[in-house]
Structure 1
Amino acid sequence: MGQQDLLSDRADIGSGGWHLPDSPHVVVSGHLPRAHLRELKQVILISSVPLWGERGACVRTRSGRIVALADPVAEPVRGVLLEDRLTRWEQEACLLLPSLAASMAWHIPATVPVLQRVHAPDTAILLPLVDEAAYGNVPAGLLRELSEHAADRQQRLIRLVTRRWQASAGGCRPVEVELSAELEAVADRLARALARGRIPSPDSLVQAAERQGPLWRQLVRRLRPTRASDLSALSMMAAQLRAARSTAREPRLAVTIDSIAQYAIGQRTQEARTLLRGRCHSVDYSMIGLYVRSRPWLGAAHRAQPDAAHEPRWRAADEADHQDGLPAEARRLSPAEPSPRVSSQPPGALR
């Protein structure tokens, strides 16, 4: 089944997800609108871009441990270590996913507007440290400085995604690229607190999220997040559901094009779609997902690893050992924009 066949089908895709033949992608179960593709008011392609990836941003603890931001710290934090270069995770998100999205857009009739929505909330990377701050492990000054670096990183990645889209589309059709905005109230609450030298409680950020509109109110009440970091996954779910909102008069389709690491969130979004649809039968949520499977990465002595997207030193290779050109492509489309590291990172700490 090709991309055109996939988009032309009107039935539910099924449950559990399945592989396209001869394709490196996974399709998550989804629901297509009743309207024909050419009758849609809009198709929204949505992808996430993780800032720094898994190990590109870490904290240094009082005992000297280096811990990824998303992992539990359990002791006071003394500094944050940030990788200046684009990590492999970021390269894939900014280069491979836009290429796949542009290929998908090629099969959409020219009369149907296409919007590429990029989900890269700079606030999300701060939320795990907000949880740690509740235990007195993170000072407000460190969080405020990290927030400035995250905002700069976000803009750099958005520029790269936009350039890649333009290069991949080749001018075949106009496509608008915009940044998803799902944590604005949370970001505002956090920024105002940090400006006063304080860190808001996780509960107060969950309450701020609940005030972001009816969709967020339903998600918070049904899924009951208890930690600030829970809002990160909810923000992607909200972005997918908002893009997928469809009515009989204005049928739309959301196509999530993302890393396989986001597959579980896609499944949770499908479950939330069922709950939300039951509350309002005049509104549907039409969405499908294409998730890029991880490829093997080669490190020292060509030792294969299942996924080293976070490690900028490593290179990707296919079965014939043809190296991919992601680092070169990233340098071509996004010239180096070095920024000072947060705190006192020792030279080469993440290299």
Structure 2
Amino acid sequence: MRQTWVALEPLDTIAIRDGRAFDAGTHSQARTVPPSPATTAGAIGAAYGAAAGAGRRDPASRGRDLPERIHGPFVARREGATWRTCWPLPRDIVQVGSVMMRLLPSPLNDGESTDLGLPMVLSDDDAGGEPVEGWWGADELGDYLSDGVVSADLEDFWDSPGHPGPWRSERRVGLARTEERTAAEGMLYASQHLRLARDHALVVRCLGGPDRELPRMVNFGGRGRRAQLIPATQVAFPQPVTDFPGGRLLLYLATPAVFPGGVWHPDLSRWPGTQLIAAAVGTPQVVTTAIPDRGAVGGGLLMWAVPAGSVYYLQFPNAQAAAEAAGELLDNSLDQAEDWLRTAGFGFALTGRWEA
């Protein structure tokens, strides 16, 4: 299947609402979230000339009018002709003093159990580790997935300290207007905008679809904001792991996931005999979607997604079954609550191995 990488480089801040109620004069501040797969899939669909929400409303349009499926978005830094991807730290990484370490699966003692019913827990042997925020490059994440290496070499997005991620919040003040476009009394409000670090963009992988030249610009991030569309011919991605001793496979969520049934873990029924052993999952992420329709917005959804960086320790019946599953996930996302979420980029995972 034909594969195309595209970089979306915002020309200004973006303002993507998190879906919570906001009305100028009643609520003083609107909240903004980073782009989800729904945002980038909508921009890519528009770039291909497909109708708004085509992939969701008309499954037959996938592969005909727009890519069959999309993976991403992934934050990436431009270095010459190469885009080097950046990844949120796996949720099983903790800080112990000045050292970062990885939590390890530990069997439960006799008579112990967990609320989640898992056979193992992730433990740091009472070292007192604390959750840590940060990002790795493709090489550092690849070393973690293949050999369990925990690198202290974190991505540095900003010249000033205190911003561990690629997005920086900027506060904007606005004043609501009446139907006559005059200032509405008492309707002063503040909103948060997000700015992506310099020389960074969101890259997406498009699989299948029509072979056509894409425009140089596309609407992105609300309120008429735009992003450049840049063909990404070289993308530095973590090298895939191909062998899984004992059938032990680690899933690293590279994009948010909305699993069937609204649960916090993937559906493993596609792999008979596979068991979820342990997991480290982040705080749920708010994801909203809406479809423009003749100047209005309809078809809106508000969902709670498992965030990128969450990890799942799986036990397959044998090494071959784990390798076959890993090969399948190279080009396919995990099953999602609705099929359009899967093809839009939700639930894309990278695979690694773990030691018992």
TM tier, smaller: under 0.3
The structure richer in helix per residue is: 1
